[in-house]
């Protein structure tokens, strides 16, 4: 494939021409250029046409995706927008929007740093740390990744090439952009893309299945594991024995005989101290239900694609995980499972002795510490909005040491007190954190305070 030149004009099917400004990057399928089209800047992915198995079918699938648009309006997807005309040799590409400033690649987040070009030419590159602003933000990013793939799968499509190069994330907010969407295809269709080793489902590695929704779910579990534990779920002592990861070794360890690093029935591939320190340290920090989810994904889920965790269940667990974070007044931040149990439901901070009470809503158990928040997904029916705050725990302005739940929603709640009396709690109102007090949030959703 001939590379494009600066200033070269590329005809676009929708009319007009895109003018090449400079190269942005390159990968296995082609080169991405910055172009100007109709007065705006876009990214143009220009394909190595010889590496596409069936260029005509691939191009038609791209055109169909452009016509149908991205799932749920496309806010989370850097979706193909315009298809270029084909050159005489069959080469073509497509235009997409640029990732906005402030987003980092998943790869840089996983590595914990990125290299930036110096402001002055000739100076060495600058190594900058890349970290999430908080634990809450990281879990928000995980939720957004899952929501994006749920939307894609509900539209009848699969991503097929899920890997660490497929996301841009705002580490300040947890906002996620899914990129490299040109391989997205209707579930059951495939145009030659298998995926990246380490992310592909074992059946795809072995060549006995094509990528689809079920293989996406395996890859999604890999992405979440890497996000949380900063390591590979299948790379332990067994894999390290391979001096070089050849194609044959990839086939063995990721296809024929994959072993989860924390497989309860097979200790042959445990993480190695000094090499997999992140996995060893972080695995102990997360609650049991998260560890169990990954254990299922990389043991039974390896052999049985239909047993893989669906997006709805990931969202429920990740929402609980976000609710489980306790920001104690003493400065300690940890999951509730790291706090000492005091009685059947209450917790206590080992650092300062502050008590933490719980509220049960739906299938969630929510720690009620000062500043804790309730979200629409908790207090409303059939809602997965985990960002809009509907309630928060505050201290009574007149009675120090007395805490309550303030109604931050637009709905009027009903409070049922232990003596069976009731009171309306309008927006801005509050109820005390008392044992056995219940809050009716409306539409059949209620919460009970447990001490």
Q: What CATH number should be reported for the domain holding residue 65?
A: 3.30.200.20
Q: Which of 176, 215, 213, 170 is nearest to 196 (CA)?
A: 215
Question: For residue 181, what is the domain's CATH number?
Answer: 1.10.510.10
- Report yes or no on 141 lying in a domain: yes
Both 332 and 265 in one domain: the answer is: no
281 and 346 part of one domain? no
Residues 305-340 have pLDDT tens digits of 999 999 999 999 999 999 999 999 999 999 999 999
pLDDT at 92: 96
Residues 6+ apart with CB under 8 A from 318: 139, 142, 143, 146
Residues 296 and 356 in one domain: no
Residue 4 lies inside a defined structural domain of this protein: no
Are both 76 and 47 inside the same structural domain? yes
The last residue of a domain, from among 51, 73, 98: 98
- What pLDDT shows up at residue 398? 85
Where does a domain end: 42, 74, 98?
Answer: 98
**274 CB-near residues (< 8 Å, 6+ apart):** none
Domain boundary among 264, 285, 315: 315
- CB 299, CB 260: distance < 8 Å: yes
User: Looking at the structure, do residues 211 and 255 belong to the same domain, yes or no?
Assistant: yes
Q: What φ, ψ does residue 174 adopt, rounded to 5°?
A: 90, 5
Number of structural domains the chain divides into: 3
304 and 380 both lie in a single domain: no
Q: Is the same domain home to 254 and 332?
A: no
pLDDT on residue 397: 86
User: Which pLDDT belongs to residue 345?
Assistant: 87
Verify that 165 and 306 share a domain, yes or no.
yes
Mean pLDDT of the chain: 93
Residues of the chain with pLDDT under 70: 1, 73, 192-194
Same domain, 270 and 199: yes
Work out the widest C-alpha separation in the chain, in whole angstroms: 82
Domain hosting residue 284, numbered range:
105-315
Specify whether 24 is located in the same domain as 51: yes
The DSSP code sequence of 158-221 is E-S---TTSEEE-TTT--EEE--GGG-EETT--SS----TTTS-HHHHTTSS--SHHHHHHHHH
CA pair distance 194, 209, nearest whole angstrom: 10
Reduce the DSSP state of residue 35 to 3 states and report it.
strand
CB 234 within 8 A of CB 317: no
Sequence-distant (≥ 6) Cβ neighbours of residue 375 within 8 angstroms = 319, 385, 386, 387, 388, 389, 390
The reported pLDDT for the residue numbered 192 is 64
Is-contact 68 44, C-beta < 8 A? no
Residue 320 lies in a domain: no
Co-location of 222 and 76 in the same domain: no
pLDDT of residue 194: 62
Q: What is the pLDDT of residue 173?
A: 96
pLDDT at 171: 98
Residue 445 domain flag: yes
Query: Which residues make beta-bridge pairs with 423?
Result: 415
Asked whether residue 442 is domain-assigned, the answer is: yes
Would you say residue 270 lies in a domain? yes
Which tokens in the block code for residue 436?
């056995």
Residues 89 and 132 in one domain: no
């Amino acid at each position: 494939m001939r590379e494009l030149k600066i200033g070269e004009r590329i005809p676009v099917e929708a009319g007009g021409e895109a003018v090449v400004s400079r190269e942005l990057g390159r990968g296995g399928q082609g080169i991405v250029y910055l172009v100007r089209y109709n007065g705006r800047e876009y990214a143009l992915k220009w394909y190595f046409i010889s590496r596409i198995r069936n260029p005509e079918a691939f191009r038609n699938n791209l055109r169909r995706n452009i016509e149908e648009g991205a799932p749920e309006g496309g806010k989370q997807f850097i979706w193909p927008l315009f298809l270029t005309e084909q050159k005489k040799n069959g080469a073509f590409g497509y235009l997409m929007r640029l990732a906005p400033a402030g987003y980092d690649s998943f790869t840089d987040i996983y590595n914990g740093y990125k290299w930036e070009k110096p402001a002055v030419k000739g100076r060495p590159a600058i190594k900058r740390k890349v970290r999430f602003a908080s634990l809450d933000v990281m879990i928000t990013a995980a939720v957004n990744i899952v929501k994006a793939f749920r939307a894609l799968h509900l539209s009848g499509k699969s991503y097929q090439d899920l890997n660490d190069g497929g996301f841009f994330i705002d580490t300040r907010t947890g906002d996620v952009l899914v990129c490299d969407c040109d391989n997205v295809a209707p579930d059951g269709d495939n145009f030659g893309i298998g995926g990246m080793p380490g992310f592909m489902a074992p059946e795809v590695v072995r060549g006995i299945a094509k990528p689809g929704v079920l293989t996406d779910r395996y890859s999604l579990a890999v992405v979440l594991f890497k996000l949380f534990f900063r390591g590979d779920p299948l790379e332990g002592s067994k894999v390290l024995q391979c001096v070089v990861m050849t194609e044959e070794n990839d086939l063995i360890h990721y296809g024929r005989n994959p072993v989860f690093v924390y497989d309860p029935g097979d200790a042959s591939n445990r993480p190695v101290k000094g090499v997999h320190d992140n996995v060893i340290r972080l695995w102990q920090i997360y609650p049991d239900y998260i560890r169990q989810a990954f254990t299922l994904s990389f043991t039974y889920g390896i052999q049985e694609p239909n047993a893989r965790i669906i997006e709805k269940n990931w969202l429920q667990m990740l929402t609980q995980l976000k609710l489980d974070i306790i920001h104690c007044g003493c400065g300690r931040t940890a999951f509730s499972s790291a706090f000492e149990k005091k009685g059947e439901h209450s917790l206590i901070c080992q650092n300062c002795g502050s008590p933490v009470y719980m509220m049960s809503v739906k299938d969630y158990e929510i720690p009620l510490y000062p500043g804790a928040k309730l979200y629409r997904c908790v207090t409303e029916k059939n809602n997965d909005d985990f960002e809009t705050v509907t309630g928060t725990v505050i201290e009574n302005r007149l009675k120090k040491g007395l805490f309550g739940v303030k109604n931050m929603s637009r709905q009027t709640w009903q409070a049922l007190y232990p003596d069976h009396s009731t009171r309306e709690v309008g927006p801005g109102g509050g109820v005390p954190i008392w044992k056995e007090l219940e809050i009716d949030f409306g539409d059949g959703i209620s919460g009970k305070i447990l001490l």
